[in-house]
Amino acid sequence: MGEDAQHLRSGASPPPAGETLPPILPDPSDAEAVSASPTSQTPMMRQYQEWKRRYPDYLLLFRLGDFYEAFHEDARVAARTLDITLTSRQKGEGAIPMAGVPHHALDVYLARLVRAGLKVAICDQVESAPAKGRQLIRREVVRLVTPGTVTEAGLLDGRLNNFLAALWRAPDHVGIALVDVTTADFWIGESTDADGLVEALLLRRPAEVLLPPGVSADDPLAARLRSAGAAVTLRDAPSFGLREAEDRLRAHFRVAAVEGLGLPRQGGALRAAGAVLAYLQETQQSPLAHLTRIQTLALEDHLTLDEGAARNLELVESLQDRRSAGTLLWAMDRTRTSMGGRLLRQWLLRPLVRPREIGERLDAVAALAEAPALLAELREALDGIGDLMRLASRVALGVATPRDLAALRATLGPLPALRERADRCGNPMIRQCAEAVEDLAGLAKTLEAALVDEPPLGVHEGGLIRESWNPALAEVRREVREARAWIAGLEGRERERTGISSLRVRYNRVFGYGIEIPKSQARAVVPDDYVRRQTLVGAERYVTAELREQEARVLGAEGRMNRLEYELFDELRRSVAGEADRLVRTARAVATLDVLAALAHVAHERAYVRPVVDDGGVLEIQEGRHPVLELRTDGARFVPNDLRLAAGEVECLVITGPNMAGKSTYMRQVALIVLLAQIGSFVPARSARVGVVDRVFTRIGAHDNLARGHSTFLVEMTETAAILRHATSRSLVLLDEIGRGTSTFDGLSIAWAVAEHLHERRAGAKVLFATHYHELTRLAAELPRVQNVHVAVREWKDDIVFLHRVAPGGTDRSYGIQVARLAGLPAEVVTRARALLREFELGAPVPTAPGDAGQLALFGGPGATRPEEAGATGPASPPPPPRHPVLDALAALDPERLTPLEALATLDELRRRLMSGP
Ligand code: ADP
Ligand code: MG
């Protein structure tokens, strides 16, 4: 036991105690351990090295008896990641770092390794004892587990896709592929808009991204992927090869030419698709028969959301902790199945742009929302349906466990009811889904007949298959039962025969069954046919020829039974795999029905309305509400608000009002209503008309974004650049509290310039500006299609009351002191600030009316110093002479965060401002 002796430490489980019947197979490592000599390079370590050489990028877990062990650097990584003890194999000079986990808890530890972004190779014992003439047990890598290719239900989140992605960068375009091997989702995309496509990729939070050689680990792209939570795996050139990709895809999809798959033309997507396929084939060792279709992720077919917009609008992850609570998905997700949950998430991240397609979904939602009784029945039928998609995938991959098949069997049960109910609905889209729910009664019957009610997890220990399923199995089971019964009855029979009441029949791992007679009975006469086998501390152990024979019978029959059951199970699994296509098709239909039913349920329950969605340039919302905030349960009523934007008339709203008035809420609710409408959902409003939007941009001011710890100014610039580069006349642009990351003047200047630019170059684009800098209201005077609105507050004595009501016109005050007071600033500070404010308002040269100061004053004049700001921090009177804005801009710079190029540009900009400034 030399090899395994070191496992006597916490976490090691005792071998299963002898229950009614003790384990039949000896511990495989017993025999081997005895023969492996503890020299510096034992045969076993050579075996280990051999496998490690073949899987150098993987953390190799090597099965030794009851443990999976990692050695050398792998051991250090495992110990660190899993918080387990780092021990060593052999002491002294040849010591090898080692860390191990008990075999029965493998999946728990695997989950943690994979979540940490590691790739793991499981090297298992594939025979129970060394073959004749050899010392070592054969071991093989039987499983590769990587973040993007895990298939075990326990390692996956039912509500999320688990995407493996690949990305290819060519000089003139970028190609991506995304595949979830557990749900058969396979998407590819290609674009000259590299940023846009990378955003589309990041939006889907891939678990693992394959990159071609030449991308170094510190490439900004790799860093970006990692910071979005993806494990980055560098692959070799052939796995991204064009020819290789063609061959691989042709073979997989059984087409004569890849053109038949409708792939984009430039090659990037093809290479990426080839790369994911190659990686899957390598890690899954399966034909991947369930990956039957490839979908294109063409940017122009859908409303484009970048990762920033999805994050700022909190579509599927909250800004605070990336969880789902408080997000749009959270508010809308009333799906009943995991498949539906995943699909709704996909819909939210990929709204449609074609009114006809949107209309089809809206029709379906309307049909269900208008038939609450049918809707309730439909949702009830969905309730019992498990994750058919993932089960089907596991079956197709050949990794389904007996429990998976039992779960599949349970899930097939409610399908006919679902189909029947969906079929009753008159809506074409729902009818289509009903038709796609396949008749799987035959399969359900087979599984029912073959599989026991509650099968075990493992496939090698028997107990899976019903006796009635197979006559040979019934026969061998009978044999096992008889032999076991014989042994079970032996004790009683021998006690009677010998008259020794303390005689016991015992099992021992090494020696098998034996009859034990305590030493205290040593003088008793044992029958002639007893053969002494072993002398123990307190007893003698005997066997009889008959016992030997029956023992062999049990062992033989059990071995045959286990093998036969495994064969029958494998056969069953393969026959189910033959139905993978139909299962996947059914799963997709169930997912769609589930999402439509959930949307209808929400619409019905929360009095949403059906939006009018068309190609016109009008966005008009009456009494719109924020879908998430209106669910708050703290009793405060949500105040609905209107909005109207129309191309050629009003394209930009400047929304002013004090902090906390509701500006951000208002503009987010507009964006969320548009997105909901474009996924085909009803919307929280009294009425809504939505001219389809092709892209939503958000630029959220620094203070809302601080938690991310980015260089705020850089983020602002990047986002602004993206808006100017990509916004079209059909885009919706939200600019919220810009300019906080830098000086006031920077912020205002940028906002102003962006507005002007969009106004002139992208006429039609819908822009919402929210700002507490009331100076921006002057935009309306300068630009024809800009309008001011403000979020009203009521002044009451010295306080303000937030009305959360949006009204025409701008504000001319910031109410900073009142908000500060509400926020709990000490009374004497508030009083002092008020006094100062009055003084400034009376005496200071501060023009407050928009007309008073020209545009220059906005950027540099004394008007830019807001009275309450100066009052809070400055001395009493007289106010300090106005500082030149360039000084402010300089003070706000963070040289360490500027690249040399940015520094140069900034310098140039400052000089320009100085020359033209006041
Ligand atoms: P601002 O952006 O103007 O500083 P927010 O939009 O962040 O203000 O809103 C501040 C808070 O006011 C929100 O968290 C919400 O609690 C409340 N609020 C905003 N709009 C409404 C509304 N229409 N009805 C009810 N409460 C609202
Ligand atoms: Mg705000």
pLDDT beyond 70 at 424: yes
Q: Round to whole Å and give the CA distance between 897 and 714.
A: 8
Three-class SS of residue 563?
helix
CA nearest 678: which of 217, 203, 268, 360? 360
Residue that the structure tokens 């979005």 belong to: 228
Q: Atom 25 in ligand 1: which residue has the minimum CA distance?
A: 638
Among the bound ligands, the one closest to the CA of 638: 1
Q: What is the pLDDT of residue 841?
A: 65
Longest dimension (CA), the chain: 123
Q: Which residues contact 267 (CB under 8 A, 6 or more apart)?
A: 170, 175, 242
Distances 763 to 250, 353, 651, 847 between C-alpha atoms, Å = 46, 19, 8, 32
pLDDT: which is higher, 230 or 33: 230
Q: Round to whole Å and give the CA distance between 459 and 128.
A: 15
Q: Which residues contact 242 (CB under 8 A, 6 or more apart)?
A: 267, 270, 271, 274
Least confident of 454-463, 575-584, 776-785, 895-904: 895-904
For ligand 1, is residue 670 a contact (CB within 6 Å)?
Answer: no
pLDDT beyond 60 at 328: yes
Among the bound ligands, the one closest to the CA of 641: 1
Least confident of 179-193, 667-681, 765-779, 889-903: 889-903
For ligand 1, is residue 661 a contact (CB within 6 Å)?
Answer: yes
The helix (run of H) or strand (run of E) holding residue 175 is: strand 174-180
Least confident of 383-387, 880-884, 894-898: 880-884
Q: What is the pLDDT of residue 869?
A: 36
Q: Round to whole Å and give the CA distance between 370 and 243.
A: 53
Q: What is the pLDDT of residue 2?
A: 38
Q: What band does 873 get if pLDDT is binned at 50, 70 and 90? A: very low
Buried b / exposed e over 677-703, threshold 16 CB at 10 Å, is: bbbbbbbbbeebbbbbbbbbbbbbbbe
Q: What is the pLDDT of residue 844?
A: 53
CA of 665, closest atom in ligand 1: 6
Q: Atom 18 in ligand 1: which residue has the minimum CA distance?
A: 662
Among the bound ligands, the one closest to the CA of 663: 1
Q: Round to whole Å and give the CA distance between 272 and 239.
A: 9
Q: Pairing between strand 531-535 and 786-796?
A: unpaired
For ligand 1, is residue 669 a contact (CB within 6 Å)?
Answer: no
Among the bound ligands, the one closest to the CA of 655: 1
Token pair, residue 825, equals 């600033």
Rounded distance from Cα 737 to ligand 2 centre (Å): 6
SS3 of 406-451: the string is HHHHHHHCCHHHHHHHHHHCCCHHHHHHHHHCCCCHHHHHHHHHHE
Q: What band does 676 get if pLDDT is binned at 50, 70 and 90? A: very high
Question: Quick one: average pLDDT of 891-916?
Answer: 77
CA of 668, closest atom in ligand 1: 6
CA nearest 366: which of 102, 358, 323? 358
Q: What is the pLDDT of residue 17?
A: 34
Q: Atom 26 in ligand 1: which residue has the minimum CA distance?
A: 638
Rounded distance from Cα 767 to ligand 2 centre (Å): 16
Question: Quick one: average pLDDT of 294-319?
Answer: 86
Peptide bond just before 878 cis, omega within 30 deg: yes
Ligand 1 binding pocket mutation candidate from 804, 806, 813 (most atoms within 8 A of CB): 804
Q: What's the whole-number average pLDDT of the chain?
A: 84
Question: Quick one: average pLDDT of 401-426?
Answer: 94
Share of residues in the chain with pLDDT > 70 (%):
86
pLDDT digits (tens, 9 = 90+) for 592-607: 999 999 999 999 999 9
Buried b / exposed e over 862-895, threshold 16 CB at 10 Å, is: bbbbbbbbbbbeeeeeebeeeeebbebbeeebee
Residues 161, 183: contact at Cβ < 8 Å?
yes
Rounded distance from Cα 662 to ligand 2 centre (Å): 7
Residue that the structure tokens 């430039």 belong to: 266
pLDDT digits (tens, 9 = 90+) for 641-667: 999 999 999 999 999 988 888 999 999
How many CB atoms are located within 10 Å of the residue 159 CB? 17
Question: Quick one: average pLDDT of 426-445?
Answer: 95
How many CB atoms are located within 10 Å of the residue 97 CB? 17
pLDDT beyond 70 at 870: no
Question: Quick one: average pLDDT of 97-108?
Answer: 90
**Residue 517 — left, alpha, or beta (φ > 0 → left; ψ -120 to 50 → alpha)?**
beta
For ligand 1, is residue 55 a contact (CB within 6 Å)?
Answer: no
Token pair, residue 861, equals 């004049």
pLDDT digits (tens, 9 = 90+) for 470-507: 999 999 999 989 988 998 899 999 999 888 888 999 88
pLDDT beyond 50 at 21: no
pLDDT beyond 80 at 859: no
Q: What is the pLDDT of residue 711?
A: 56
Residue that the structure tokens 């084939």 belong to: 281
Q: Which residues contact 156 (CB under 8 A, 6 or more apart)?
A: 150, 162, 182, 390
Residues 234, 213: contact at Cβ < 8 Å?
yes
Helices and strands in the chain, H and E counts? 32, 27
Question: Quick one: average pLDDT of 269-282?
Answer: 94
Q: Kindly provide the residue ranges of all beta strands, DSSP E only, lying in 49-148, ordered along the sequence.
A: 59-64, 67-71, 87-89, 96-102, 120-125, 139-145
